[in-house]
Structure 1
Amino acid sequence: MRIAFHGAARNVTGSCHLLECRGKRILIDCGLYQGNREMDEENRNDFGFDPASIDYLLLTHGHLDHCGRIPLLRRLGFKGTVLTTAATRELARLVLLDSARIQEEEARYRNYKASKRRNRGEPAEPLYDTLDALDSLDAFADIASFAQAHQLCPGISTTFYDAGHILGSACILVELEEAGRQHRVLFSGDLGCDGRAILPDPARPPHADTVVMESTYGNRLHKSLAPSIEEFYRAIATTIARDGNVLVPSFALERTQELLYYLREGIEQGRLPGHLRVYLDSPMAISATQIFRRHRECFDEETWEVVAAGRDPFDFPGLEIVRDTSESMALKQVKGAVIIAGSGMCTGGRIRHHLRHNLWRPEASVVFVGYAAGGTLARQIIEGAETVRVLHEEVEVNAEIHTIGGFSAHADQRELLKWHALTGTPERTFLVHGEEMAMQVLAGQLTGTTVAMPRLHQSFSL
């Protein structure tokens, strides 16, 4: 029995871990690296294993940094099954098709720019295309339900537990038996927070011999949710009062739906103006919200009460859905409104256009409500850059900047430690999916287990 780490090793993206047992090779996640150009190049590097040798892929959830290289894996020879929840399968379809479109557009743009140069070099190729994404989706299969064991093959079984991170997200237990030895390996995936809207709290984890745990916020505590909601409402109210726009760079999956939920609640409770105009300018977020509506089995009791009362948790007067590019472009004429657009780290999507038209305006505000990886435009703005490059233009940062950490979909240090304590007394804990400083701080807080922070492609015997 062995485990190897081929992604999210001392960084926050590109999750990909490999188990070997009884001649079978099982991959847990196969995510895309996100951030700077070096990360883009890492996506094209060798996986660290032969894709054709993988028998099963267990997918924790549908975020791009956990599923984004599955089409490439498939194109390079993977013929196995991708096992996941029904909600994750639907979200992954949305994410992978969008990723393929972006890859194709980026390649076309680079080739167009190269055509203007005398020395054109090799033509740019997308990491994968739409056909690759569609082909990979044929490999997906749904688990029956959470907390129900599924035998992959003799001696190897898996059980998914609700991770409370995004719709359909899971922690995954893999039970191994070989040569009379048994070993239980638990992968946290990305863990959600307690007491959040829409989704239940993360399920109690099972005991395990080895734990592979995310550490995104291993070195900090989140601001509590109630003050974060108040800060969000206050940022909106003060900005609208001065006739400025509130830009919210938001992740299409979970974060956007959570913001819509709280905007609806704020208007219903009179904590926000009843005439508030909110533009949801993200085709992916719009489609993701429709998927949320189809998977009510994933909702918590609070959200079920809203549904039972005949109300849509994600809709309210003043919400306008913006699908067409022409409608998005017309928003540059808007004043005194909330504009929610992707991407959350400002690495792509329509938010960049809105930043170009609003970031230089002192009456505007930008509200960041999620994690921003190093090297991203969002991180530059959060860290106080006076000017930033947006869509090939230098733009002054005069808008009011808000960073509201309480909306994070990731567990903080306290919640990570609480979750880990429920896994029993694991022999070894591998910290992944975190920046090195966060990992080191979290490692110092873990007791009763041997802690390792694997490097890329490092392998261990179980």
Structure 2
Amino acid sequence: MGLNLTFHGAAECVTGFCARLSGDGFNILIDCGMFQGPKTLKALNYEPFPFDVGAIDAVLLTHAHIDHSGMLPKLMKAGYQGPIYATAPTRDLCAVMLADAGGIQESEVHFLNRRNQHRGRPLVEPIYTERDARRTMDLFEKVKLEEIVDVAPGVRARFWNAGHMLGATSVEVIVGEGDDPVRILFSGDLGAGGQDYLPDPIGPSGIDHLVLESTYGDRERQRVDTAERRRQLAEELRQAHAAGGPLLMPTFAVGRAQELLLDLLAVMESGDAPQAEIFLDSPLAIEATDVFLDRGWNRDTETNPFTTLRHAPHLHYLMKPGDSDRLEKLRDWHIILAGSGMCDAGRIRGHLKRLLWRREVTVLITGYQAVGTLGRLLVEGKKLVRIQGEDYRVKARIRTMDVYSAHADARGLVQWAQDRQPIRGQIFLAHGEPDALKDLSERLEKAGFYPAKISTPVLDQCFDLSREAAQPVVEGQPRLAPHRAATLDWHNARADILARLGDRLEAAPDDDSRLRMLLALERVLKTAEWPDEPAAAG
């Protein structure tokens, strides 16, 4: 039985997960996610799919986050009309998330085309529209946890609770009939375990191959209970209040926003933090909250904790752009939650543009920030950032909290892999940046896994699978050179150089010094030659 596994996304980076499993008479995708981060990586979203869309029989979707589901409407536009298998909560969340992503695409392209017209550049089309996203929902077929589903000729699947977000799963793919099929487990994104609102991640043991996410493969986070998490949040609120300005929280709309709102309301009600008006400035988060109200039932506690969000007196939902614009008039203490969580899209950018230069403002980041995103640049301490083509000085307080992550840390990833033993074949490490991949590989070796049985695929790399082994297959040219998926690109390097040039010019003692500096730069540009080997930016 010929069986190939190809990694078309989230290889050496944390976004765009898409794996293709193909064999005799079948082709299936596990996830079809959107790339985020550096512009070079995001540009892949606009290119044709690196596989024959017409040959795909089915899509198995682990969860609704855009870096796993965000290219499904493009797949549909390209001609795919097969089933998309997912849990009911994932389907409901995708209904709002994909439509929102399509709307963002249309808005972003409208803004970009205005700039392109002014610069004499060609116009571009959105990857897909809101209407495309809504049409894609007709392809979804709901699955129940731990029930086996026939998804293609000779291929079955079983979905296991991954504990990462509402509806999130790991997907076990069973290839072949009889008593000796090949079992491949795709972890999806794994939850941290021990969380208030989500179960611990589970999965089957005794598999042949494992595809393991590695987002936090290089770090162990502080383990905190609800009381300690809220104590830390309350302290951040007290400091932000003392700084004299508003608190701005870039927030992932699904899961993170709802958990933060519950904690914000709790610490204010207890008196541990100063009272504030809270503005949820994210239509997607508001619509997602409705899904949590419908499907957030916790079987362990027999309650839905999110019902608190239905009529909270200090909580304001801002759906219309005009509602968001009116926040500009506020000067006193208040809290704004807005997407996107990595600061690369959505209404958060408007708030950052008007608030980053104010010293009394606090920006509190509570989620993972991929390489090249605006959020990552802020966390790394950049004092000048570029937002939608304009430079902004960063004077606000930039704070981070790592206790809200919905991803398992390195310790949790290793333990989850050990619980899947025996693993007869290969462990493929995906959905991680290079340092995380390297560190997790070393941790797995120390835990007793054979080094030769651990692989870190690069983008578009294919493996030929047998029951107990995996061999790389030499195929065509990958869309990105190896090891480039998670590095800062030339766009980031240009922005950084321009920012530093501006700083040097401002710091120069007089205009003659500034002119000499620019003339020297002009001479360098005239004599510069293309380097043989482009240096990695950053």
Report what 1:399 is aligned to: 396
Taking a change above 3 Å as real, the CA distance of residues 455 and 242 of structure 1, as seen in their structure-2 partners, is closer
Cα drift, residue 171 of structure 1 = 0.4
Q: Match of 1:235, SS?
A: helix
Taking a change above 3 Å as real, the CA distance of residues 205 and 269 of structure 1, as seen in their structure-2 partners, is farther
Query: Residues 262-313 of structure 1, C-alpha deviation per residue, up to 9 Å, x if partnerless?
Result: 122223333223x32111111110110111111134x353582757xxx525
Alignment of 1:26-37 (within 5 A): 26-37=28-39
Cα drift, residue 445 of structure 1 = 1.2
Q: Is the 8 A contact 1:197 1:303 kept in 2?
A: no
Q: Match of 2:9, SS?
A: coil
Alignment of 1:274-313 (within 5 A): 275-297=275-297, 299=298, 301-302=300-301, 304=303, 306=305, 312=308
Q: Is the 8 A contact 2:362 2:399 kept in 1?
A: yes
Cα drift, residue 36 of structure 1 = 1.7
AA matched with 1:234: E
Report what 2:258 is aligned to: 257
Q: Is the 8 A contact 2:146 2:158 kept in 1?
A: yes
CA distance in 1, matches of 2:245, 2:239: 9
Report what 1:451 is aligned to: 454
* Structural RMSD (CA): 1.9
Alignment of 1:373-392 (within 5 A): 373-392=370-389
Taking a change above 3 Å as real, the CA distance of residues 362 and 204 of structure 1, as seen in their structure-2 partners, is same
TM-score by length of 1: 0.94
Report what 1:196 is aligned to: 195
Taking a change above 3 Å as real, the CA distance of residues 2 and 81 of structure 1, as seen in their structure-2 partners, is same
Q: Is the 8 A contact 1:359 1:399 kept in 2?
A: yes
Q: Is the 8 A contact 2:104 2:346 kept in 1?
A: no
Report what 2:411 is aligned to: 414
Q: Is the 8 A contact 2:57 2:152 kept in 1?
A: no
Report what 1:222 is aligned to: 221
The unaligned stretches of length 5 or more in structure 1 are none
| Aligned partner (choices 312, 318, 321) of residue 322 of structure 1 | 318
Cα drift, residue 365 of structure 1 = 0.8
Query: Residues 206-229 of structure 1, C-alpha deviation per residue, up to 9 Å, x if partnerless?
Result: 431100010000000112234443
Query: Residues 117-143 of structure 1, C-alpha deviation per residue, up to 9 Å, x if partnerless?
Result: 4x443x211111223222221111100
The 10-residue stretch of structure 1 (390-399 or 286-295) with the greater mean CA deviation from structure 2: 390-399
What fraction of aligned residue pairs are identical, expressed as a percent? 38
CA distance in 2, matches of 1:6, 1:23: 20
Q: Is the 8 A contact 1:425 1:448 kept in 2?
A: no
CA distance in 2, matches of 1:196, 1:369: 15
CA distance in 2, matches of 1:269, 1:163: 32
Count of residues paired in the alignment = 454
CA distance in 1, matches of 2:311, 2:413: 33
The 10-residue stretch of structure 1 (444-453 or 65-74) with the greater mean CA deviation from structure 2: 444-453
Q: Is the 8 A contact 2:163 2:201 kept in 1?
A: yes
Report what 2:126 is aligned to: 126
Q: Match of 2:141, SS?
A: strand
Query: Residues 33-75 of structure 1, C-alpha deviation per residue, up to 9 Å, x if partnerless?
Result: 0112112211123322101100010000001110111111111
Report what 1:58 is aligned to: 60
Higher relative contact order (CA 8 A, sep 6+): 1
AA matched with 1:221: E
Q: Match of 1:291, SS?
A: helix
Q: Match of 1:225, SS?
A: coil
CA distance in 2, matches of 1:362, 1:346: 19
Taking a change above 3 Å as real, the CA distance of residues 341 and 17 of structure 1, as seen in their structure-2 partners, is same
Alignment of 1:147-186 (within 5 A): 147-177=146-176, 181-186=180-185
AA matched with 2:83: T
Taking a change above 3 Å as real, the CA distance of residues 404 and 58 of structure 1, as seen in their structure-2 partners, is same
Which of 1 and 2 has greater Rg? 2
CA distance in 2, matches of 1:222, 1:69: 31
Cα drift, residue 180 of structure 1 = 8.0
Report what 2:527 is aligned to: none
The unaligned stretches of length 5 or more in structure 2 are 466-538
Q: Is the 8 A contact 1:216 1:435 kept in 2?
A: yes
Report what 2:431 is aligned to: 433
CA distance in 1, matches of 2:313, 2:236: 20
Report what 2:345 is aligned to: 348
Report what 1:332 is aligned to: 328
Q: Match of 2:181, SS?
A: strand
Q: Match of 2:357, SS?
A: coil
